[in-house]
Amino acid sequence: GKLNLAYNHKFANGYTVSKSPLNGIADVAKTANTPVYFLNGKIYVQKITASKKKKIILSPETGLTSSPTPSGDGAYKGMQMEAQCLMRYDIGIGTVANISSGFKKYGDCIIIGGVREFTSSTATVTFQFVPLKVYNSVQKENLSKDKKKSAKDRVKAKKDANKIAAEKKRRRSRKK
C-alpha cells in the first residue's frame, strides 16, 4: 500500500498507540484528514483520488443495472448515492466515473465505496458515489477545520507546557 497524508499533523504532546496497529494508523490518518482504505489486499492511507487518473463512463449502455438511489449519513451534503452495475474491474474506491441513468445525468462522480458480488448466475458491483465537486468541497472544508483544530491544540499544548515549567520552577525555588 501507500502512505501519503493530506497534511503533516504535529502532535504537540506526542502520540502513543494503545490499541491495535491498524486502529492507530486509522486514528493518525483521521487526524490528518486522510482516508484509510483497502484495495486488492493492501492498505492505503492517501486521498482516494491520488492514484486514479482514468475516468470511466457508467450508463445503462455500459452496464449500469439500477438507477442511483440516495444513501449515506449526510456527510456529503446529502449527495451520496448508491447504484449497481455489471461486474467491471475498473470500478474501485477513488475511480472517477461519468454517471448517467436513463433519466438523469450525474456528471463526474467519485466512487467512495462498494462491494463486488458473485453468484452462480451474475457478477455485479454495488457502489456508493458522490459528485466529484461535492467530494472535493467537503474534503477542503474538513481539511480546513482539522488544521484550525490542530493549531488550537498546539497553542493549548504550549500553554500546558509553560504551566508545567512554571510549576517546576516554583517547586525548585521552594526547596532552596
What is the structure's pLDDT at 38?
77
C-alpha Rg value of the chain to the nearest Å: 22
From first to last of the 176 residues of the chain, give the pLDDT tens digit: 667 777 777 777 778 888 888 888 888 888 887 878 777 778 888 777 655 567 899 999 999 999 999 998 888 888 999 999 999 888 888 889 999 998 899 999 999 888 999 989 989 999 999 999 999 898 888 888 888 887 788 788 788 888 888 888 888 887 76
3-state secondary structure of 62: helix
| Stated pTM of the model | 0.68
What is the structure's pLDDT at 129?
95
Q: Are 81 and 71 in contact (CB under 8 A)?
A: yes
Nearest to 127 by CA among 66, 45, 43: 66
What is the structure's pLDDT at 1?
65
Helix locations, 8-131, DSSP H = 21-31
Pairing relationship of beta strands 96-100 and 55-58 according to DSSP bridges: parallel
Q: Which residues pair with 64 in a beta bridge?
A: 85
Q: Are 36 and 26 in contact (CB under 8 A)?
A: yes
| Cβ neighbours around 71 below 10 Å, total | 13
Q: Are 129 and 112 in contact (CB under 8 A)?
A: yes
What span, in angstroms and rounded, lies between the C-alpha atoms of 125 and 9?
Answer: 36
What is the structure's pLDDT at 66?
92
What span, in angstroms and rounded, lies between the C-alpha atoms of 145 and 130?
Answer: 21
What is the structure's pLDDT at 64?
94
